[in-house]
Structure formats: structure tokens, C-alpha cells
Chain A
Amino acid sequence: MHTPMVETTTGRSSPMTLTGYQRRAAWHLKLLLAPSVLLLGTFVIYPAFYSIYLSLTNEALSGPAALNPRFVGTRNYVRLFSDGGFWNSLLVTFWFVLGSAIIGQFILGLVSAVLLRRPLRFRPLINAIILMPNAVPEVVAGFMWVGMLAGGEHATLNKIVAWFGIPSQNWLVTFPLTMIIIVNTWRGIAFAMILLTSGISSISHELYEAARMDGATPRQIFFRLTLPLLMPTIFLYMLVSTVTTIALFGLVYALTRGGPGGATEIIGIYIFNQSFTAFQLGFGSAVAVVMLAISVVIGIGYVRLLKVQV
């Protein structure tokens, strides 16, 4: 029988040359990574570079440029930075990310994670209620909320507020940004809670007992033990939720389509509107490239902070 092991285990290898075993191990690793690399290459890296290329042309979906796109250099970018709509969408996105991901989902997720660690009577029920929003497809969730927040006396929220004497209104028109922040918070608590729960449960039980022996109050235990030890998890959560919230589209599009008057036109919707409503593919790509750059910078920032933390 053929035994490849024999020739590879001779003592001839110097530190510089890989032994047969090491070479084969490296080969295996490459083989195992190949599917991921292939998928990422096809659907992430290639489109990213293609977007950069598109953003330097006047490619459009209709009109003369559609037939014959031209290379226009940085013209799209120059136009972008003097476009009020772009700055508006950046600001809306900033408030949206801050309000829903960084404050809403995080605080409520942390509170749920800390409270649900204790054996509460209705724990399974509360867990289910928190996890449910994540199980609904985002567009379905969006339309569901449209019904709840709609104008007219029969919409759910109007019926509820009528008890307090507040007049009926179309909530998505009167408080558009607040409403999309609330809806996205509702949808994202579960993710924050799951991640933070796993972070909390990795803190040794004995540390809490030691703190009790040292005379720490529950408040001191939270701020001096749980919170600092949770920092790496919190940064990880911030990184993931910031980047995914910046890239959000479907939920808000189903709710408001970016309106009224651009009040909820987060950057994903702005890109969509420019590319597929105004048909300016080149310009839309430029926005997408800028957004990607912002996400990367934020990502690097978090990773840096995370390294300082641990």
C-alpha cells in the first residue's frame, strides 16, 4: 500500500523548509477557505470595485448616457458634496443609527439581558416577545407598522392614544424620524440582548460572590464589575449594529420610502432613489462608495477601541 507519511517524516527538514505535513496542512486550509473566498470575491469584492468604477462614470438607466457611458473623473463626487440631499441623508442616518442602534437597541437589550438572567416567572414568555420581531421579515414588519401607525381613528396607535385624549394623526408624517427609530429599536433588541447575554454569562460567577463579600451593592456590582467586563462585547455589538444599521434599507423603505420630504431618507434609501428612481447609476454608486468608506472607518475605529479595552 502507498504510504505518503514515510517520505515526509524524514529528519531532513530545516526550519526554512516546510515539512510535508506542514505543506499539506497549509493546502488543506486553503481548500477549506476557497468557498468563502470565492463567494466573497464574486458578491462583495467584485461589486465593490465595480461600484468604484461606476462612480467614476456617468452611467445611467435612461437617456443618452445609458447607451454610451463616459468616464467623468471625480465629477460625481464633486456634485455629491455640494448636494443638499446627500448631507441631509447623512444627518438622518446619523440620528437613525444613534437613536436606534446605539441607544435604543443597546440600552433595552442590556436591560433585558441583565434582568432576564434572574429566574423570573414569565421569563420564557418575555424572551419570546423580545425575539419575535427578529423572526418577521423586515418588509412584513414594516407594513405591519404602517398599519399600526397610520392616520384615521381605527389605526392601532390612534385607538390607544385616544384614551389619553391625544387626537388622531398619521404618526409617520408627524414624527417620521422618531417612528422609524422606534420601529428599528423594536426589531433590534433581540440581537443586542442575545449578544450581551452571552457576554454576561461568560463572567465568572465567583467574581460576583467575591464582590458581595467585598460589600458591593447591586448598583456598584453593575457599574464596577459587569459593565467594564462587558466592554469587549459592547464594542463588538456597537461595531456590528452600527455597520448593519448604516446599510439598512428594507424596513424603512416599507415604512416611509424616505419621506415625508426626505425626513427619513437614510443613506440606503438615498442611494436607491438616486440610482433607480432618478436612474443616475454613476452618481448613486459614488454615494455607495462614500458610505462604504464611512463604514470602514467606523469599523476600524471600533476595532482600535476594542484592542485598547482588552
Chain B
Amino acid sequence: MNRLTHLPTLRIRPESRRDIHYRGKAHPAAAGDTIATALYANGVRIFGRSLKYHRPRGLYSLDGECGNTTMAVDGVPNVRTETVPARAGMTVKAQNVVGSAERDLLGFMDALSFAMPAGFYYKTMHKPAPVWPLAINRIRKQAGLGAIAPDFEITGVFDELYPRADVCVVGGGPAGMCAALAAAEAGLRVILLEARPWMGGFFDYRAAAHPGGGLLHERARELADQVEKAPTIRVFTSAAMTGAYHDNLITAVQQGGDDDPFDSRYLQIRAGAMVAATGCIERPLLFENNEKPGVMQVGCAHRLARTWGLMPGEKIAFSVGHDLGLEAALDLAELGGRVVCVADIREDGQDPALAAALAERRIPYFKGWVATEAQGRPTLGRAVFSTITGTVQKEFSCDALVASAGFTPVTGPLNTAGAKLAYDNHTGFFLPTDLPPKTHAAGRIMGLQDPLSLETSGRLAGLRAAADCGKRVDDAVRDAEAALASQPGPERGCKLVTAPVKGKKTFICFDEDTTLKNVKQAMAQGFDVPELIKRFTAAGTGPGQGGIPGHNLPLFVAQTQASPDKHPRPTTVRAPLVPPLLAEYAGTNHDMSKRTPVHESQAAAGGKMERIAVWNRARVFSKSKGAKAEIENVRTNVGMLDASTLGKFRIFGPDAVKALQRVYAGDMTKIPSKRMKYAAMCNDDGCLLDDGVIVKQGDAGANDFYFTASTGRAGQTVEWIRYHAKYENWDFHLVNLTDAYGVINLAGPNARKVLEKVADADVSNDAFPFMGYREFTVNQTIPVRAMRLGFVGELSYEFHVPSSWMQALWDVLAEAGAEFGIQNFGLEAQNTLRMEKGHVIIGSESEQRTNLLDLGLGFLWDRNKPEAKTVGAVALRQAEHQKGRLKLVGFRMAEPADRAPKDGSPIVDDRIRGYVCTARYSHALDMPVGMALVEDELTPEGTRLSIFEDGCEGNLIHGEIVSMPFYDPDGKRMRM
């Protein structure tokens, strides 16, 4: 197609050519073309087929308000080709077609639309019942627009940016640019977001005169120039805002240009104040076949010509409700287009100069007329017009029908920021009634059209935003207010919602193929709120969301209900305002996990690392089944485990002990200096939250403790203490040392022999007994806090050292242990070792309803500290004699030859009576043993348990309650 050249408004560079591929052919595009404009230039008029009726769909708007021109591009479905630049080598495919967009084998669906009234699916397909499962498959195949392959892998660089700004201006039209300039002049840092690749907005493509002199597009470039030169304004073009969240957190997605190092980037801006200057889209005109390819909006036709040098058609008809439509008709004629007629919905109120210019050009001009039907197959060939009352008709042959009822303010940024909207009778808009704090609106979004008013309102909003950021701009605000008051205010909007038609093929929502008739059907069935009609007819729930129906639906509903108390009620606008790819949201998908200070050496030693919540931990080192070698090594020799993931804290200050008393079940006042106590924490229900050890540091008088929490509970422990001390005014400090300290567990009968070689202290059993706590150095250098604990049931030490010393201590111990054959052990081995000892892991042997008594840990509860108001104590007292609670028991298999049951298997009789927590083959005992939570009736020793494993099909296996611990019941080995 021949392009208009030499227009000052053009945004293409025809000399820079690139090819895109469509239907097996290369189609030339110019730099600056979108995919859609390039295809249009190559004669493509049908871009795809509609969802339900497979109607042909063409270029209608250029800002992606509907899915008409969404296509698959390089395997990515639903790409808005109107807004995506054409890049060399792109492969483009039409969607929802069987065959091609022009010849779609499912095109006959359109003729069946009568059989699919609103709510069709709800009322059919379920009779008779067996039909439904079959119908589902059909429905699924019919539904959906684009397709994605299950093995699709996206390519490209998806970046993220989190800037901070004083003022964020959304929209780079005249109002937005003036707002940005005003805020920048006040000395603020401004971010300006513009969805199009350039600033200029409403002025950019227009050749009308600016009241201040020159032409509108010249003024646009002048303002853009000033914005670009302003040192404190950062402009993001091709950056569509996706939502505003609490406290002016504004998100957007920016498309990378040819020279950007990213393909796309997610922007999340924290701004002091926001100015929404997003202007208007057009309110679609409702008439028969109002979405036939060839029908397009005013801005679409006008920008096609002015920005991309493409005349929308050979014979162009207009049906509009505003002066901008008249201006576009005249401008197209000026550019050499053949305008066959202009129907103006308005009887009066037009700019007389425009009317006169139409007359001068001998363009047939009809006031009080409107298009009622688009005809032609498959694209537009003729249009029918009538008076708005429908009494007189005329027909014009045309291949483009430029149709627009009025404007719709793009209030999405305000909606998502939390503004409430109400219907405004003068403009016919839903306008914000009250804006959230530090949020402003400017420009056409307020109903303004006059170029000077737009600029002044922008300036005013920019100044008000500056005031929000603490700038003293009162005088300037007053001046701007006065200036705005003296300029033309909001224009009266065109009230016509629909042409005089029955509405069988009048589409209120293109994406969902919802017609006026469907809306009427919904209303007849009792759906009288726009929000419910939306759900029942699906209008506004497709890819373009409310873009097409968002304004017309509530107007139509209010008009049809025609009762005076029914003010139009808008449907809800939700983020994302433009739909980003999941790849764009996911961005770099940075993984923030934690590694212990000896992570590398664990992995190098063959540790199989596993993500456990935020941590990476070694599950096993050896290849032997069930970590048998590691287990045996600990039982008979000596092993080392990296336990750095334990929560570690210091609490100190005059009231530190009171805080501990509150949250721990035991008595924390009774820990002697430099001693340690094992303790448990319960929630208000007396259920076990956490366990750990508490060390009293310093002298007897010091209120200074070091304590531990289980892996993964560090954060919650801090919050728990903070919460329970909140109203007490206690004076203490709590420091989370979890990442500052590492922990090594040295365990096994030879552990002392290893330690003796390196510790600068007497670590004999007398000097450092079981449950003892010592502080000493290793090799005269490494400061350690050493605890003798017995989680795995052997002679065992826990060393807590500053993280920076962890690797050194690990290496020292490994070297000292080499002569004994010391080995690493991992979580898998630890799990069996502790299970043999009957030691619980929270969440494994306890559920959230398991209290301290249920676990047999009642000895950790000191009931003689009532003044402490111990969390959970009341509940423990109440639960003490309750029947039917699940209790922790040990069991072995009734048939010695049976294997251990699978963890999690229920214990049953005629109902479920409990379940297996952990069961393993114990190498030490040479038989399977396990722990289970069972109803109290089943706890006596010798009780037979029937275990129902998944997939057992009724073949139960049996266990028998035995006492715990299974291994070394007297605890001699820990005390060795």
C-alpha cells in the first residue's frame, strides 16, 4: 500500500525496512510500525476470529482496548499487535481460526448465534446428564483464543527496576507533560510513564491549531523536548501502567526498544504523589455489526493516517458524536482521503467552523444521524445510516466506517489507586468523586478537551503533587486554579448509547461476543446490576477487559431500566490495566535462599543439598540405603552435622527473664549462671510451638541469655516474644543471631577423643558432663560455646561459633577426627537416630493440635509460676484429664518380619484412631520401630495397632505399642 509521506507527524521510518512473516509470506514493515499497522499496510483487514461466533475481526482501536487484533507471535499467544513493534523475523499467526482468518471453517457459528442466548451454558448441556461430560470437551476446545504449547520456552531478557520518585505522572500527553514539568520546576524528582513509544498523547497526531499559536503536534514536540531536557524528570516510554497499589506503589511494564539491553522490564515505583493524566479512549458506537472489519474508531483512523501514513480506506464514512470526529474527517480529506459522509449524532453544539469546513469540502454532513448497520462480507462494503430516532435511512458504500459515540476517560489508574467513581451528567463520564490522598487527575480524564485547559490542568495537578511532597507552592497553585477557571471547562458528552437497532448483532463486548440482545436477556432474567450482567453475559471479562464495554454497559443498563433513581453504576476496574506476560511479572525471579557458613564444604563432601524453606541443607552424604552408613558411623564411631540452621538468639536487659518466663513452659528463673536448660514453648492452646535450649550467660546477676529455636522458626520466635511482651513495658533487648552463628554437632562414642585433641579446656566427663555448657577456645583461637546435648542419643556436643569461624572449626574437627575415620552425616541419618531415641521433631511427631502433655513432655512445664502468665498454661491445665486426645507412642511391628510402615499411614479400626509419624528400620535394634500419634485408649503397652497404608486395599499390617526410647532407654550413651 502506498503510504503518505512527508507528514510532520509520521512516526515511521520507511527507509528502515524489516520483514515479518504471516501466512507463509514475508511482509515488509517500516521501523516504527506496530505489527498491526504493518499488516494493515500490507492489505490485511481480518486479523482473527471472535471467541464464540468466529466473526472476522479487524483493526478497531490502536491502543489494545479489545482482542480484535491479538495474534500469536513467535509462539506467544494473545499478543496485542496494535501496540507491539514489528521486529525483523517475527512470525505472526491468526488465532481462533480453523483454516485462515479470511476463510475460517467455523465461520458458520455466527449463523447459530440465535441458539446461544445469554446464559446459554447454564440452561443447556446438562440435559440429559450424560451429555455434559462430552459437552465439556467441546466447550474447552471452542473456548480460549490463543494456544500455548506445553513445552514452550520463552526467550528474552526480562528485567526488573524498582525506582523511587517524588511524583509519578502517568501519561505523557499534554496534561501529563505539563504536570511533570510543574513538579520538576518545584525541584522534585519525577517519573513519567507513557504507554506509547513517544510522548505527545492527544496532541501528537493532530494538525489543528493550538490556541497559543502553532499546531497541536508542534506543541506536543515542544513540550516533549522540555520534558526530555528537564534534569529531574525520568521518562519511561513504551511503559504501560498496570496498577496503583497502596501508598502510591505504581507498577508498569516497559517494552524494550531495538537498542535496549532488555526485552521487557517490570517497573515498580514508589512515589510520593501520583498524577493520572491518561486521557480518554473512545466509547464505541453501538449499531448492527459494529465490529465488522472496516469499522474503526476516530483515533484509530486518524492516527493510522497521521502517525503511520496509512489511509484507512478508499471510501471513508463517519458516524461520530463529537468534534474530534469532524476534525478527523476534515483532516483525512485534507490528506487526500475520500470521505463519503459524516453523520453526527448531535443536532447542535458542533464547532461551527468545522461544520463550515465540511460544507466547503462538499462532504455530505448529517446532523442527528447515526450509523445503524455495517454490511459487507467478510469486510465492510456499505453502511446504513438513519436519524437517531430511526425514521429515515440512507446508505453509503464505503470500506471504512469511522464510528465513535463519545469518550471514555481512562480512569484505571485512579480506580486501582482506590478512587470512587460516580456518574457525571454533564460529561456522561464516570468521574472520581473523591481521590485517595496524594493522588491527582489532569487532562481529558476530567472531561477537558480544550488544549490550553489540558495544559493548565496538568500544571495544576503537578503543583498539587509537589505540595503533597512538601513543596510550598501555594501561590503557583492559586494562579493555576485561576487560570483553569478562566479556560473552557469539561465538555458536554454525547449521551447516545445505541443507534436505533434491535441489537441482535450489535456488540457491546467484542471479546466475548456479547450483544445488546444478550444484555437485555440477562436483565429479563433478573440480573439488574451491571456487575452481575457482566458475569452472566461475560461482557468485559475477555482479553480487553472493560476496554470496550466498560462504559457502555452501565449506560445501557441504566437507560434500559429507565427509572429515575437508577444512576449508572460502573463495573469494577481491576489490575492489571494492561495484561503483562507472566514472564514479565516473574522477571529475574531471584531466588533468595540461605546457605550455612559451611555450605560449600558440605556440597563438596558429596552432600545432597535440599531446599528446606529458606535454607539449603544436606540430606545425605553416603549412597547407602536410608543413610545406613552414616547412622552406623554415629552409633559406633563419630560424625559431624552442620546444624547452623537452628534459630539462635541473645536476650538481655533487666526484664529479659520475664519475657522468657512468659513464653517458655518451664521456670527460667532457675537456670544457674553458665548453665543450660532444655525448654519448650507452647501456644495458647498448650500446643507445642518450639523447643530449644537456654543458656544463662555472664555472672549470676546478669540478665543475659543465649537461646535456640528449631530450624525455620527464628523469625516467628522473635515475633512471638515481641507480641507476648507487647503490653508489658518490659525492658529487654532481643537479638536474632541466627545468621551470625553457625553450629556443628559432633556426635558418637569417639566424639570426646576428637574434641580433647583441640579444645583448650578439660572436656572430660566430670569436667563437662551431659547437659553441661562450657565456653572455651579451640586451638587457642576459635571461641566456642559448647553444649552437651543428646538429640541423636550418643555422646554428643553442639558447638556454636561465630559464622566466620565455622569453616575453620569444621576443618579443625575433621582433621582431628581423621584418625578415627570421622564422617559427615545429614538430615536423613539424624532423623532415624533421633527417632530411635524417641525424640520428637515438631511438625513430624506433632500436629498443631498436639500439646506438651500429648507428647509426654509434661516435665517441661513448671506449673508453679502462675505470676508469669505462661502462654498455654491455662490450656494445659484444662487438657490434663481430657479423654480422646492423640498421644505420642512408640511401636514395633507385630510380625518381626514386617517392614516399617510408611510415614503418615493411618491407624484404624472401624474408624481412624491415629497415624504413624515416623517409622524406620533401626539398625541399632535390628528391627523396624516407629512413633505414632494415637487416641489415648490405644496407648497401653502391648496394644495392637492396625495400620492402613495407602494402596493397601484393606490388607492391614500390624504394630504393637512398646515403650520409648527404643534405643538405650537409660540414656547411658549420652552420659558416657
- Interaction A to B: no
The chain A residues found within 8 Å of chain B, CB to CB, are: none
